[in-house]
Amino acid sequence: MSGLARVATISVHTSPLEQPGTGDAGGMNVYIVEVAKRMAERGVEVDVFTRATSRTLPPVTELAPGVSVRHVAAGPLEELDKSELPGHLCAFTSDLLRTEAAHEPGHYDLIHSHYWLSGQAGWAARQRWGVPLVHSMHTLAKVKNLALATDDAPEPLGRVLGEQQVVDSADRLVANTAEEARQLISLYDADPVQVATVPPGADLSRFTPRGGARRRLGLPEDAAVLLFVGRIQPLKAPDVLVRAAARMIEDDPALRGRLIVAIVGGPSGSGRARPEELRHLAHRLGVADVVRFEPPCPQDELADWYRAADVTVVPSHSESFGLVAVESQACGTPVVAAAVGGLRIAVRDGRSGVLIDGHDPSDYARVLRGLLGTPGRLRAMSDAAVRHARAFGWDETADRLLEVYAEAVEARTMAVSA
């Protein structure tokens, strides 16, 4: 369909082999894995380049037929904070260029970089290989800085400048939503012709409604279960859910006996500096007995957590899309989320969930108590959530990306021949 044979995907700071939900691994990891597998099914081989973080990692790992993960030696063989990675980009880029040089010219037809650090390496490879660069930001520094959580550190100027360089050099920019496309144009002066909107998806064969989840997870059938899934850091605002739970119990003490707040994820970003802060908050608020912390888990188990919950809560301060919201709805669980970024698209307000302006725990407590107190409304939202999620599948994402790739290759060919 696309005429492409092989794509170089760049993900400097996080490997698609890592477990999403902790460290720097999250929705972007899922995106890269799911898109790469579907590209390969369509006859396009994908090599994913990521920084090696351990001596035990082989140079090349097969992720799936037609998809390889190449571990690039750049800096110490250990996990590094993203703030430390710019100093190792030259080494990463050098190894990336050597890989292509070992093949006949034209080994890769296109580069797709993810996050601004990868875009810097992709920029250099684009110049050397003479192929188009397609870039996905996933998050934008200027947007994050406009919506900082309390005590969260702003994104540094170096990232802002680095993002601008990638915007200026990429042949195509892929936005998750129309809002992100507008942000690229208004905040980074991106050429509207070069910005393509391609919504991410969910694995609709895995994330489906299915009974028995509470039994499999050891949860009481009559519990009121509220779920948070994601990295524990100020940006994702899990504290809003914990504070809301405390407010709910304050308003209705009888709720304590059946309320379970499940936090599935691990520390990330600035949250790594205070990994126990959320637990301490639960103790200070007197709700440690209802808050249950679970480590990141494989997707099959994660699907059961979605199914077991009455409501999934996504109170993020900034979210380019909101993959957790779509996965939850695909499992039949409504979502209460902050009305920010891509969550406005991922959740159909009033039908498949509820969007809340701001991050006041009292607002979340009021909405959540209302939903838990009206089982009929929850059931109607559950049905609507499944229908809404059907619009977001990875097959559609891959097909649309292949169209963007073809447009980038055609534009590059025309520019060279002009």
Q: Which residues are annotated as a binding site for Mg(2+)?
A: 306-307, 309, 333
> Binding-site residues for UDP-N-acetyl-alpha-D-glucosamine, please?
19-20, 27, 231, 236, 319, 327
Asked if 191 contacts 168 with a C-beta cutoff of 8 angstroms, the reply is: no
Write out the two tokens for 342. 């891509």
Nearest-CA neighbor of 191 among 206, 169, 176? 169
Nearest-CA neighbor of 64 among 99, 107, 33? 33
Sheet of 172-175, strands arranged across: 60-64, 67-72, 45-51, 6-10, 110-114, 133-136, 172-175, 195-197
Asked if 9 contacts 48 with a C-beta cutoff of 8 angstroms, the reply is: yes
> Binding-site residues, please?
13, 19-20, 24-29, 82, 115, 139, 159, 231, 236, 306-307, 309, 319, 327, 333
> Binding-site residues for 1D-myo-inositol 3-phosphate, please?
13, 24-29, 82, 115, 139, 159
Write out the two tokens for 293. 């912390």
Nearest-CA neighbor of 72 among 100, 54, 50? 50
Q: How many other β-carbons are positioned within 10 Å of the β-carbon of residue 158?
A: 12
